[in-house]
Amino acid sequence: MNDLELQIITLQNNIFSGLFVGQNLITIKQVDSTNNFLKNTLSNSKPLPDGTVIMAESQYAGRGQQQNRWHSEAGKNLTFSLLLRPVFLPVMQQFDLTRAISLGIINALEPLLDDKLKIKWPNDIYYADGKLGGILIENMVQGSQIKNSVIGIGLNVNQESFALEVPNAVSLKQILHIDYDLKALLSEICKNIEAAYLNLKAGRFELVRKAYLERLYWLNEDKMYKANGEVFSGIIKDVKETGLLVVNHGSGTSEYNQKEIEFLNK
């Protein structure tokens, strides 16, 4: 990567107002994946500060959950990765980190959007039935502790059209018809992620879990799902501590991981 592609920026505290998330910001003109870039940097160079953010203007091979591709028009959206070191969080409670990151994004966007803003389990950001953003968390585990968490976030901001293979994508501009400053929005998201993360660090797990559940897409609504090759009507009732989705259906109650159930919302 040459000097034109990589630029390291030190931002003043009045731009990134948090204690540590975003205080070390690295911006890249083009990269395959900010998560890959951050993981490679961790492997090949001196340690990065906790809270480091890698932001790409163009990401040509971004990934979502289950190897889905993240499609993003260059310079129009937020595509970034965040480094956290949640060594205080037992591996068995790693879904609490998913909750906190999802809440941070929701809390940053709530002043702009109404109550149609939801978290689609496990960690997609939805507005009504449109996907506004997604999260990919890759944890590096050492023993029973999470040594590093590389958290990739993609948010549709100023893009106005999407590829046909992304049928339910939506952007802030499509919703509100306004162009947004990406750095200002990134600052708000980092500030709110930090606040939710510090709640975890202070042991306020139930607070984070309750807030996550209250903002869940399709909570307590009768909707259609697919699991084990069958389509059925079900109602989301809870998310277990480990992250399993609890769904009531005609034959009782079942718990699912993210590869076992499909939301039929397309």
pLDDT for 9? 44
Nearest to residue 172, comparing CAs of 228, 253, 108, 91? 108
What's residue 1's pLDDT? 43
For position 3, what pLDDT does the model report? 40
pLDDT at 198: 97
Task: Name the pLDDT band for 187 (thresholds 50, 70, 90).
Answer: very high
pLDDT at 214 (0 to 100): 97
Are 237 and 225 in contact by the 8 Å Cβ rule? The answer is no
Q: Are 74 and 152 in contact (CB under 8 A)?
A: no
pLDDT digits (tens, 9 = 90+) for 80-130: 999 999 999 999 999 999 999 999 999 999 999 989 999 999 999 999 999
Q: Is the pLDDT of residue 10 over 50?
A: no
- Going by their DSSP bridges, the two strands 230-239 and 245-249 should be labelled as antiparallel
pLDDT attached to residue 5? 45
Query: What pLDDT was estimated at residue 79?
Result: 94
Which residues, listed in sequence order, are joined to residue 127 by a DSSP beta bridge? 117, 130
**CA-based radius of gyration for the chain:** 18
DSSP 172: H
| Farthest-apart Cα atoms in the chain, separation | 60
**What mean pLDDT do residues 205-220 have?**
98
pLDDT, tens digit (0-9, with 9 covering 90-100), for 57-73: 877 655 554 445 555 67
Place of tokens 């070191």: 85
Is the predicted pLDDT of residue 213 greater than 90, yes or no?
A: yes
Share of the chain above pLDDT 90, in %: 74
If you average pLDDT over residues 42-50, what whole number do you get?
Answer: 85
pLDDT, position 18: 75
The 3-state DSSP class for residue 52 equals coil
Residue 34 parent element (H or E): helix 34-44
DSSP 179-220: ---HHHHHHHHHHHHHHHHHHHHTT-HHHHHHHHHHTBTTBT
Contact 49, 23 (CB under 8 A): yes
Q: 3-state DSSP call for residue 100? A: helix
What mean pLDDT is predicted for residues 213-225?
A: 98
Provide the whole-model pTM: 0.90
**Of the candidates 169, 159, 56, 157, which has an alpha carbon nearest to the alpha carbon of residue 108?**
157
